[in-house]
């Protein structure tokens, strides 16, 4: 059998899923971990159009908030706080003991700090002197 590496811009979600499924299978084999689980909360308008939301993953006791976004008109109205609270509540119900999120210095660092997320690590070297922050919050006290 021959193999080759192919570059694909904007790969199909089902192709990316093959990679995730392989990681999940390996985690079960090696550590008997529960499979990773993915979920999202969305804010939709009366036309069912997404105006904001967050998507998350639960992996090995960690709630990972991958993306949090709100349309400009919904910002500074507590929608982001409600989304984070919903995700954290669901994560705790599913047995997650901590949550983590990443953000750039020009994005939502202060927002996450207000929600009691603590900087765990920062990475420098990005364009225009941007800093990438890794934050963590304990869900079980």
- 111: Cα within 13 Å, side-chain hemisphere: 22
Which CATH superfamily includes the segment(s) 37-138? Answer: Gcn5-related N-acetyltransferase (GNAT) (3.40.630.30)
Render pLDDT for 50-59 as a digit per residue (tens, 0 to 9). Answer: 999 999 999 9
Please give the distance of CA 67 from its chain centroid, rounded to a whole number: 5
Backbone angles phi and psi of 11, in degrees to 5? -65, 155
Find out whether 39 and 90 touch, Cβ atoms under 8 Å: yes
Question: What pLDDT sits at residue 32?
Answer: 87
pLDDT in tens, 8-30: 999 999 999 999 889 888 988 99
Q: CB burial class (10 A; 0-12, 13-18, 19+) of residue 58? A: buried
- Residue 127's region, left for phi above 0, alpha for psi from -120 to 50, else beta, is beta
Q: Which residues of the chain have pLDDT under 70?
A: 141
- Round to whole Å and give the CA distance between 28 and 6: 28
Write the secondary structure of 25-54 as one string of H (helix), E (strand) and C (coil): HHHHHHHCCCCCEEEEEEEECCCCCEEEEE
pLDDT of residue 125: 96
């Amino acid at each position: 059998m021959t193999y080759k590496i192919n570059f694909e811009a904007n790969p199909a979600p089902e192709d990316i899923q093959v990679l995730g499924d392989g990681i999940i299978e390996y985690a079960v084999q090696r550590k008997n971990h529960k499979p990773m689980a993915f979920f999202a909360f969305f804010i939709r308008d009366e036309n069912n159009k997404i105006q904001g939301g967050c998507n998350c993953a639960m992996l090995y006791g960690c709630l990972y908030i991958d993306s949090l976004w709100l349309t400009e008109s919904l910002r500074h109205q507590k929608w982001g706080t409600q989304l984070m609270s919903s995700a954290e509540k669901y994560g705790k119900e599913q047995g997650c003991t901590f949550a983590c999120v990443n953000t750039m210095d020009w994005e939502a660092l202060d927002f996450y700090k207000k929600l009691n997320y603590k900087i765990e690590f920062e990475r420098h070297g990005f364009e225009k002197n941007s800093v990438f922050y890794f934050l963590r919050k304990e869900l079980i006290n």
